[in-house]
Chain A
């Protein structure tokens, strides 16, 4: 597609439930990133995929968070046993080079 597509755009879930957030990057972009943005805050790095290399998971806040990228394209961020502090906007970006980040519009997650 023309841009980075994220779904759903909004997700409300009950505390303790699992959620899956999807990112469809720009075709041909080899790198994919997930960031988290809490209300009124900057962007917090979560995880980075580059081609077929092992992902950089150094930003994942706990073992409840995981992500995969299938076939070098679509990525899914999974949060298990959601907590209220997980409420945030989750942003995905893709790039073909280190300086070419393009962000999606994000998924706003609300845990009630």
Chain B
């Protein structure tokens, strides 16, 4: 089945630093989504990307849908303590309605 590989697996950064994580796939995706999961909660949608090459921002978050449709990245600028959590990429392929999720990037922010 399709797999989404996320990197890095975990990050430990200083407050105020910028963060970058990415997601790659062996298959073409026609939608990319980025979610954040806090402990004990379900994932919450951060950004959705619908077109190859699309660059979208949501506050301090910026995400891009790769031209090849096989990758996406998420940037967080000026990280703050509440950015701590697990970030997942996810995508839809073809006409399907099932989301395939990446393995996650755990972000830890040091004050």
Question: Residues on A close to B: CB < 8 A?
Answer: 4, 31, 33, 35, 40-45, 48, 50, 56, 59, 91, 93, 98-99, 101-106
Contacts and interface: CB of A to CB of B under 8 A. Distances in A.
Contacts of B104: 40-42
Nearest to B43: A103
30 contacts: A4-B42, A31-B97, A35-B101, A41-B103, A42-B4, A42-B6, A42-B101, A42-B102, A43-B88, A43-B90, A43-B99, A44-B101, A45-B98, A45-B100, A50-B97, A91-B42, A98-B92, A98-B97, A99-B31, A99-B33, A99-B50, A99-B92, A101-B33, A102-B45, A103-B42, A103-B43, A103-B44, A104-B42, A105-B41, A106-B40
Interface residues of chain B: helix, strand, loop or mixed (majority): strand
Interface of B: 4, 6, 31, 33, 40-45, 48, 50, 88, 90, 92, 97-104
Contacts of B40: 105-106
B101 to A, nearest CB: 4
Contacts of B92: 98-99
Majority-rule SS of A interface residues: strand
Question: Which 3 pairs across A and B sit closest by C-beta, in order of nearness?
Answer: A103-B42, A43-B101, A42-B101
A39 to B, nearest CB: 11
Contacts of B90: 43
B41 A101 contact: no
